[in-house]
């Protein structure tokens, strides 16, 4: 009996140690879990190896949206159709759908990070660091900021996952291919990214993430308009939007591009 008890305790102890090491809980949130590092390295190699296929299919998706909306030419109505097409079957955790969300880990200071959903989350714990691939319940993958794929519109069009930044990159590429002049803008104060499109010689804001939130409501026109109205229409506090400035996004850092804060002030 004593021998069996020792065996059970030994197995249990080793199990706890193994889980702790694999989950990274003894390091989290400052260091990546060894298990997550191994998984991410493998995924990173796989996705870059398969990049020719991913790039081709993503490019086809963008071109199809361009072709399907071509009848509108450069009428601003086309931008609504483009937003509708690219938001179809897109996973964004902020949109009002029970299927459209990622798992995320909340630190003790209240800040959240994208992380693994089960099964990896259930087996290996919640450690969002390193290459940072995360996926939704349908198995679609999002690349985090540390990965070069995160900024590629063809990757985003292929996976159809992300949040405001991914949607802005996706929309920007599609709108420009459709004959519009579009650019990406950002605010560190609001921690948000959206687009501007030049209409009749004037820059108008277009917020595709906001579109996904309101497209089936009576507020469906709130996702675009004059820049001075963005604070009221977007739901963001104007002071947060302009707190650290509004900039043209250079795909590297919000704050390196042209400062356009004045246009978002009253």
- 174-210 pLDDT per residue, tens: 999 999 999 999 999 998 999 999 999 999 999 999 9
What is the edge-to-edge ordering of all strands in the sheet holding 224-226?
A: 224-226, 202-206, 192-199, 182-187, 246-248
| Domain range for 63 | 1-69+91-161
pLDDT, greater one: 189 or 108: 189
pLDDT at position 100, please? 44
Lowest mean pLDDT, pick from 117-121, 179-183, 237-241, 255-259: 117-121
Nearest-angstrom CA–CA distance, 173 and 149: 15
Angle of CA points 50, 155, 162, to nearest 5°:
130
Is 232 inside a domain boundary? no
**How confident is residue 136, by pLDDT bands cut at 50, 70 and 90?**
low
Structure tokens at 11: 């197995």
Q: Which residues of 164-187 are buried (b: 16+ CB within 10 A; e: fewer)?
A: bbbbbbbbbbbbebbebebbbbbb
**How confident is residue 261, by pLDDT bands cut at 50, 70 and 90?**
very high
Nearest Cα residue to 121 out of 18, 43, 33, 44? 33
Is 80 inside a domain boundary? no
Lowest mean pLDDT, pick from 9-23, 37-51, 96-110, 158-172: 96-110
pLDDT at position 123, please? 46
Total count of domains within the chain: 1
pLDDT, greater one: 153 or 122: 153
The answer on pLDDT for 131 being more than 90 is no
- 56: Cα separation from own chain's centroid: 21
Is 23 inside a domain boundary? yes
Q: What's the mean pLDDT when you consider all of the chain? A: 79
Alpha-helical runs (H) found in the chain: 2-23, 34-49, 51-68, 77-87, 120-124, 153-159, 164-177, 208-214, 230-234, 238-243
The answer on pLDDT for 26 being more than 70 is no
Is 153 inside a domain boundary? yes
pLDDT at position 8, please? 67
3-state secondary structure of 251: coil
Is 229 inside a domain boundary? no
Is 58 inside a domain boundary? yes
The percentage of residues in the chain with a pLDDT greater than 70, rounded to a whole number, is: 67
Is 215 inside a domain boundary? no
Nearest-angstrom CA–CA distance, 95 and 101: 8
**How confident is residue 42, by pLDDT bands cut at 50, 70 and 90?**
confident
Is 211 inside a domain boundary? no
The answer on pLDDT for 4 being more than 80 is no
């Amino acid at each position: 009996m004593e021998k069996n008890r020792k065996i059970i305790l030994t197995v249990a102890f080793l199990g706890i140690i193994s889980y702790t090491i694999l989950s990274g809980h003894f390091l989290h949130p400052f260091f990546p879990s060894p298990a997550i590092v191994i998984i991410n390295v493998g995924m990173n190699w796989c996705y870059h190896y398969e990049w020719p296929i991913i790039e081709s299919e993503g490019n086809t998706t963008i071109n199809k949206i361009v072709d399907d909306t071509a009848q509108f030419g450069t009428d601003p109505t086309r931008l609504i159709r483009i937003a509708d097409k690219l938001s179809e079957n897109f996973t964004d955790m902020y949109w009002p759908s029970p299927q459209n969300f990622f798992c995320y880990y909340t630190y003790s200071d209240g800040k959240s990070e994208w992380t693994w959903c089960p099964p990896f989350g259930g087996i290996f714990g919640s450690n969002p660091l390193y290459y940072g691939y995360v996926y939704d319940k349908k198995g679609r993958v999002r690349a985090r900021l540390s990965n070069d794929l995160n900024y590629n519109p063809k990757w985003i069009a292929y996976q159809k996952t992300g949040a405001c930044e991914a949607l802005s990159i996706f929309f920007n590429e599609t709108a420009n291919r459709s004959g519009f002049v579009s650019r990406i803008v950002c605010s560190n104060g609001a921690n948000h990214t959206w687009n501007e499109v030049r209409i009749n010689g004037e820059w108008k804001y277009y917020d595709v993430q906001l579109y996904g939130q309101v497209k089936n409501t009576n507020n469906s026109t709130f996702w675009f308009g004059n820049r001075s109205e963005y604070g009221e229409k977007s739901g963001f506090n104007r002071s947060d939007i302009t707190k650290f400035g509004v900039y043209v996004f250079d795909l590297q850092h919000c704050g390196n591009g042209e400062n356009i804060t004045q246009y978002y002030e009253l």
